[in-house]
Chains A and B, each alone.
Chain A
Amino acid sequence: MSAKQYDAIVVGAGHNGLICAAYLAKAGRKVLVLERRHQVGGATTSEEIYPGFTYTCCSYVVSLLRPWIIRDLDLPRYGYEILPLESTFTPFPDGRYLMRDSDPERTRRSIAKFSPKDAEVYKRFGQEMAELGRLIKPLIDDPAPDPLSRDPRELLRLGRLGKQLRGQGDEWLYANVKMMTMSAVDFLSERFECEELIAPMAISGIIGTFLGIRSPGTAYVLLHHYMGEIDGSFRAWGLPKGGTGAIANAIAASARALGVEIRTEAPVAHLLMKGNKATGVVLENGDEIQAKQVVSGLDPHRTFLKLVGEEHLDPEITQQVKRFKMRGSSGKVNLALDALPDLACLPGPGPQLTGGITIAPSIDYLERGYDEAKYGAFSKKPFMDILIPSLTDPTVAPPGKHTMSIFVQYAPYHLKEGAADWPNQREAFGDAVIDTLSEYMPNLKDRILHRQVLSPWDLEQIYGLTEGNIFHGELSLEQLAFLRPMAGWSRYKTPVDNLWMCASGTHPGGGIMGAPGALCARTMLGKRAV
């Protein structure tokens, strides 16, 4: 038994766990972070999987990390650097392409090749979404307001919010309500006419969910992505220098400077319980560590079913936890490249390779990919979101060589043959990805030095993401805000005394946002939010 007494133990050194720990330490608490893996970050990780090449293994872009967290924890001082991701390039099989970047005129001209009307609407749409995002923003910087609460303070807050929203006018409210219920494709089709634009735009609505772009409710998730905020300017995604792992390292360095103790390779087996109270943790090696509070940086399934254990839970709660949908739908393929590949539609180096490259040639293409997933197979022609980080950040690969990060959807955790069949299908999945991509980059295969394929099953095994869900639970409407992770327990507190939740499974959800971690700490400290 450890002699030290901690005010709090944070289980899991993902970015939210680290942020939560840093805020607690900032308030003078003695905090210990326990991480199962050999390095911090969780899914916010960069690893030299192949010598000389640093892969940003899982999460690959950042936009939602709250600016106030960056300031509070002084992250730039600890190595937090975000490089601009300027563009989105969408190649089509017939050799045409669509380029959207930070230059509005260039973007307008590119869209006009497909639809002059859409080219005009596009800019207005961006403004409309940014405006929506700005109004929704307070919701992600605060614990979720609960409409069923009887707490007068809560009602006041709701009242204020209601007033603010009403102040936006009826049109805005209608648009918002529609947005909450529509599918991404329907929502976008109300504004745009050309599929070549709608398809790549719609994918923001499905990333990380087990839904298709025609599934109701996916329009809202579009907005989630439009809130991407860097340097205070909306809708700008960025590439972390050194991969996303560098963000985790910066947060860890800041946390350590604040006095947080971080132990890696210290897997927690389960909580120490006294009645309904968490009193510490038991490590897999049998060590027991006491603490006044325990914070779980794991997803809701792991938190309740593994750390706490069903035997300590009300069956009602167990039911709710089990109903919380995880069902990962995506995988990652990371490549080390000997040289830059050429795009068939626009060969040679250039801005078409430096931003995001989206393989989403049509609505049906994406929907067919979903069809396969619904019946338990990975998409043979998947949607892909591709980055070549080494073009912007040369430190991640040897000179002249490159890394490629490919986010792939759909790769359902639950295969027809069962999730455990993923090791048998992993390479076939990787082949499908490379074969599909080779249709757009004919010389890709010749340039591959190394390939890492991460199926949702691998994400679960390696990173502890239950069912490989990258958001610790799907970001669908019924699992957001006061319903995340379950009704009545959206405030980071859990039904177990002295146990808190601080990760993406809580409001406001996944992505490298940090808000769950920070809001959890603030709630624990009894402080008002931002």
Chain B
Amino acid sequence: MTNMKNSILLITGAVLTLLFLVLNTKIFEALYFERQFSNEMYNQNLYFVVAVVTVLIAWGLAAVFYYVINSVRFSRWYNWLAVLGVACVAAPVTSFVICNNAFSAEGYNFSAQLFSFCVVVLAVEAVLFIVASFSMRWWSSNCRHTPIPE
């Protein structure tokens, strides 16, 4: 029974993530829109790139926490929160660098808009990390009770 519940949670997490990947432009633009900046993000396909980056970091760092570190000493809620913090710094910074490079190559300067956009990326990353954590924690030998006991 528990197994079934865990599998459902994993599938739900995967579906939510996939939906995010498919609807990336709609979601990002609903959260932050500035005409010229957003059009250029769209034209250079950067929304998709940022979406992939946020997903990879969220699922990657969650996997590292639950299956690589996977330590009793490092299984408290604030340890998990620290990893979430790392994800929430890594995703916006990576996105900023990628987009800024792409824009510079075309001679655009969207630093101000990009900064606001990266705040959105930070929030999205936090949500995705929580989704990833609750999708995969159940099979971790030492951390499956983190951040909230089962």
Q: Do these two chains interact? A: no
Residues of chain A touching chain B, judged by Cβ–Cβ distance below 8 Å, are: none
